[in-house]
């Protein structure tokens, strides 16, 4: 048998959420719950399937469904209060893989979860945020922060910085950078990388963040490992 499937339950009613989680665990799933749509958007990254109520305190269930679908390939099943055809159609059009009624027996719900997971594409592992001392790179928010201040970077600059920061002690060749950031069919010269690196250095306020290894490529510099300077 493969890895234990992880289910995230999104339900504002505490008692109902506890019952769902308990039933899922009895059926062999790993399960946990959150009570709001906002928390679901932050917590769904490691879930194989999200079982969400359409009735949430902060976000409309259909909007949550669209947001989750837009964020990736996680399997989605909506829980509705009644067997309403129009509601089912709206949910499925919003990106859900299935829709179940709250009053259904949980064995049927479990079977539907299994069926959806069998059909689902393998879940992509979301890239993780990287922190190098005061430099924080978040691939989910597409944000770069230095000393907790937002640094405005372009899409290519972000990909370039993230690629280097992922292995800060390793030199990344120009060829590898071009393939990762611009794709295998890129039609730019290697000077494109130099231009983007110069821009990143300026935005980060120091050339010490990215070091050129002549004839090879680039790596993260030592700025992120420099000791704090004492005030006064």
Assess whether 102 and 173 both reside in one domain: no
Say yes or no: 144 and 106 in one domain: no
Tokens found for residue 179: 């393939």
Provide the percentage of residues in the chain whose pLDDT is more than 70.
88
Final residue of a structural domain among 86, 119, 152: 119
* Per-residue pLDDT at 213 exceeds 70: yes
Q: Which residues of 124-154 are buried (b: 16+ CB within 10 A; e: fewer)?
A: eeeeeebebeebbbbeeeeebebeeeebebe
What rounded mean pLDDT belongs to the chain? 86
Contact 83, 41 (CB under 8 A): no
Dihedral (C-alpha) 201, 146, 179, 167: value to the nearest 10 degrees? 110
Specify if 125 maps to a domain.
no
Position 224 pLDDT exceeds 70: no
Q: Which of 92, 119, 146 is the last residue of a domain?
A: 119
Residue 93 lies in a domain: yes
- 160 is in which domain, residue-wise? 130-225
Over 50: is that where the pLDDT of 230 sits? Answer: no
Predicted pLDDT of residue 232: 39
Do 80 and 30 share a structural domain?
A: yes
- pLDDT score of 228 more than 60: no
The domain total for the chain is 2
- Is the confidence at residue 124, as pLDDT, over 60? no
| Radius of gyration from C-alpha coordinates of the chain | 23
Whether residues 115 and 139 fall in one domain: no
Give me the residue label for tokens 């989605």: 76
- Cβ(116)–Cβ(48) under 8 Å? no
Task: Compute the average pLDDT of residues 103-131.
Answer: 80
Q: pTM for this one?
A: 0.53
**Same domain for 112 and 162?**
no
How would residue 229 be classed by pLDDT, with cut points 50, 70 and 90? very low
- Regarding whether 135 and 112 lie in a shared domain, the answer is no
pLDDT of residue 9: 96
Residue 1 lies in a domain: no
- Regarding whether 176 and 97 lie in a shared domain, the answer is no
Structure confidence at residue 226 as a pLDDT band (50, 70, 90): low
pLDDT in tens, 133-164: 889 999 888 899 999 999 999 988 999 999 99
162 — phi, psi (to 5°)? -65, -40
User: Does residue 74 form part of some domain?
Assistant: yes
Give 119's pLDDT tier (boundaries 50, 70, 90).
confident
Whether residues 97 and 181 fall in one domain: no
- Indicate whether 115 and 197 sit together in one domain: no
Give the CATH number, domain containing residue 162. Answer: 1.10.10.10
- Whether 82 is in a domain gets the answer yes
Helices then strands, counting H and E runs in the chain, come out as 8, 12
Q: Is residue 231 part of a domain?
A: no
Q: Are residues 115 and 134 in the same domain?
A: no
Query: Which of these three, 85, 100, 119, is where a domain ends?
Result: 119
pLDDT tens track for 32-78: 999 999 999 988 988 999 999 999 999 999 999 999 988 888 899 99
pLDDT tens-digit readout, 1-19? 345 789 999 999 999 999 9
Q: Please tell me the predicted confidence (pLDDT) of residue 118.
A: 84
Q: Between the CA of residue 224 and those of 128, 131, 134, 202, 227, what are the distances in Å?
A: 18, 9, 7, 15, 9
Tell me if 124 is assigned to some domain: no
Q: Do 58 and 66 meet the contact criterion of CB atoms below 8 Å apart?
A: no
- Say whether both 115 and 162 belong to one domain: no
Beta bridge partners of 41: none
Same domain, 142 and 113: no
Taking residues 203-227, what's their average pLDDT?
84
- For position 52, which CATH number holds? 3.40.50.2300
Does residue 232 form part of some domain?
no
């Amino acid at each position: 048998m493969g890895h234990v499937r992880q289910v995230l339950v999104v339900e504002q009613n505490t008692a109902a959420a506890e019952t769902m989680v308990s039933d899922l665990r009895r059926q062999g799933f790993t399960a946990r719950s959150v009570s709001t749509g906002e928390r679901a958007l932050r917590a769904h990254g490691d879930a194989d399937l999200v079982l969400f109520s359409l009735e949430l305190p902060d976000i409309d269930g259909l909007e949550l469904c669209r947001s989750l679908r837009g964020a990736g390939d996680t399997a989605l099943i909506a829980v509705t209060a009644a067997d309403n055809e129009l509601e089912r159609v709206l949910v499925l059009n919003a990106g859900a893989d299935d829709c179940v009624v709250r009053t259904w027996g949980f064995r049927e719900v479990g079977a539907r979860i299994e069926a959806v997971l069998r059909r689902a594409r393998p879940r992509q592992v979301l890239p993780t945020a990287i922190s190098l001392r005061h430099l924080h790179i978040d691939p989910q928010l597409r944000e770069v922060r230095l000393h907790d201040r937002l640094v405005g970077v372009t899409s290519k600059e972000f990909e370039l910085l993230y690629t280097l920061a992922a292995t800060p002690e390793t030199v990344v060749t120009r060829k590898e950078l071009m393939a990762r950031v611009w794709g295998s069919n890129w039609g730019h010269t290697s000077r494109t990388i130099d231009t983007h690196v110069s821009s990143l250095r300026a935005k980060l306020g120091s050339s010490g963040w990215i070091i050129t290894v002549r004839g090879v490529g680039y790596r993260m510099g030592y700025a992120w490992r420099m000791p704090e300077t004492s005030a006064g």
